[in-house]
């Protein structure tokens, strides 16, 4: 990412959104093999975890879910040209993908084939993957809800990693630590946020107002990066807020997860 074209300022971030998610899909649908392969790799990287977690929630053990994840991408996504058939007029791409996964899982269950479905070499690098446990809030959720939760979690992880990396690269590591301590950790631990006075003492900052401004700068950057990532999954800027609202519903349990 070019720092010159993508900076956080006191007034917020006003950079342009990156290439949209559907543009990646259109590249897969193009006749350019180089663009097609690169776009496919991007889609595989985005969706292998939701597919794997959804399969785990259907009762498949770790190794079997890994095999089926590889098989789904090999046999359905690539083998049957699933991405080439995607049509944004029909709604979210992940909904289209999940429907295909439902059919695939049902066919596997009916056939009860003993053969391994992992293609030689593997499309997705899962060989070193340790078993992923389904988080407690969605332990009893449906496969579709688990798929959405895993997708949203992976998206949030990408956003947080990007913001943390930018803070460290620009000499603002303390900004990130303050944001993590005051905002992230209390949410993760379901605990009370530390006081500004405590953070001043811990990080050697003289004024609480300065701490607040540092945290706010990271909040603004987080919001901007989140919007840019979400923009990749929708057709227009106008839909970004709706998609973010949907993400919040997923994590709050109002997106169908009880």
- If asked whether residues 257 and 151 sit together in one domain, one would say yes
Phi/psi region, residue 198 (left: phi>0; alpha: psi -120 to 50; beta: rest), is alpha
Q: Looking at residue 182, what is its pLDDT?
A: 95
- If asked whether residues 120 and 55 sit together in one domain, one would say yes
| Radius of gyration in angstroms for the set of CA atoms belonging to the chain, rounded to a whole number | 21
Alpha-carbon distance values, 210 to 26, 112, 167 (Å)? 46, 62, 16
Q: Tell me how crowded residue 43 is: count the other CB atoms within 10 A of its CB.
A: 21
Q: Looking at residue 47, what is its pLDDT?
A: 84
Q: What is the DSSP-derived secondary structure letter of residue 78?
A: I
CATH number, residue 42: 1.10.1740
Q: What is the DSSP-derived secondary structure letter of residue 204?
A: T
- Of 110, 133, 156, the residue that ends a domain is 133
| Per-residue three-class SS string for 131-191 | CCCCCHHHCCCCHHHHHHHHHHHHHHHHHHHHHHHHHHHCCCHHHHHHHHHHHHHHHHHCC
SS3 content of the chain, % helix, strand, coil (to 5): 65, 0, 35
* Domain assignment present for 14: no
- If asked whether residues 179 and 123 sit together in one domain, one would say no
- If asked whether residues 159 and 50 sit together in one domain, one would say no
- Of 102, 133, 164, the residue that ends a domain is 133
* Domain assignment present for 6: no
Q: Which domain holds residue 229?
A: 135-258
- If asked whether residues 129 and 148 sit together in one domain, one would say no
- If asked whether residues 68 and 25 sit together in one domain, one would say yes
Q: Looking at residue 243, what is its pLDDT?
A: 85
* Domain assignment present for 100: yes
- Of 103, 133, 163, the residue that ends a domain is 133
Q: Looking at residue 215, what is its pLDDT?
A: 97
- If asked whether residues 230 and 242 sit together in one domain, one would say yes
Q: 151: which residues sit within 8 A by CB, 6+ positions away?
A: 47, 49, 50, 94
The token pair at 65 is 């879910």
* Count of domains for the chain: 2
- If asked whether residues 28 and 97 sit together in one domain, one would say yes
* Domain assignment present for 9: no
Q: Looking at residue 247, what is its pLDDT?
A: 83
- If asked whether residues 129 and 139 sit together in one domain, one would say no
| pTM for the full predicted model | 0.63
- If asked whether residues 87 and 189 sit together in one domain, one would say no
- If asked whether residues 105 and 160 sit together in one domain, one would say no
Which segments of the chain have a pLDDT < 70? 1-32, 36, 39, 84, 86-91, 109-140, 252-258
* Domain assignment present for 67: yes
* Domain assignment present for 163: yes
Q: Looking at residue 62, what is its pLDDT?
A: 85
> CB–CB of 118/66 below 8 Å?
yes
* Domain assignment present for 2: no
* Domain assignment present for 117: yes
- If asked whether residues 118 and 196 sit together in one domain, one would say no
């Amino acid at each position: 990412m070019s720092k010159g074209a993508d900076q956080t300022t006191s007034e917020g971030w006003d950079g342009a959104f990156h290439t949209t998610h559907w543009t990646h899909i259109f590249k897969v649908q193009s006749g350019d093999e180089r663009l097609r392969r690169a776009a496919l790799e991007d889609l595989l990287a985005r969706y292998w975890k939701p597919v794997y977690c959804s399969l785990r929630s259907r009762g498949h053990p770790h190794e079997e879910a890994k095999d089926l994840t590889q098989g789904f991408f090999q046999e359905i996504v690539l083998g049957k040209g699933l991405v080439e058939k995607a049509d944004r007029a029909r709604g979210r791409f992940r909904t289209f993908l999940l429907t295909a996964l439902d059919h695939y899982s049902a066919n596997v269950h009916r056939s009860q084939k003993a053969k391994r479905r992992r293609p030689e070499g593997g499309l997705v690098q899962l060989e070193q993957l340790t078993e992923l446990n389904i988080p407690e809030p969605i332990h009893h959720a449906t496969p579709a809800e688990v798929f959405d939760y895993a997708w949203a979690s992976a998206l949030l992880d990408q956003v947080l990693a990007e913001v943390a990396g930018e803070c460290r690269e620009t000499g603002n590591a303390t900004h990130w630590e303050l944001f993590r301590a005051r905002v992230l950790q209390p949410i993760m631990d379901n605990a009370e946020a530390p006081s500004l006075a405590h953070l001043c003492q811990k990080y050697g900052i003289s004024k609480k107002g300065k701490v607040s401004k540092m945290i706010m700068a990271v909040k603004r950057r987080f919001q901007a990066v989140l919007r840019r990532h979400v923009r990749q999954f929708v057709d227009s800027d106008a839909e970004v807020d709706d998609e973010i609202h949907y993400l919040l519903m997923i994590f709050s349990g109002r997106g169908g997860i009880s």
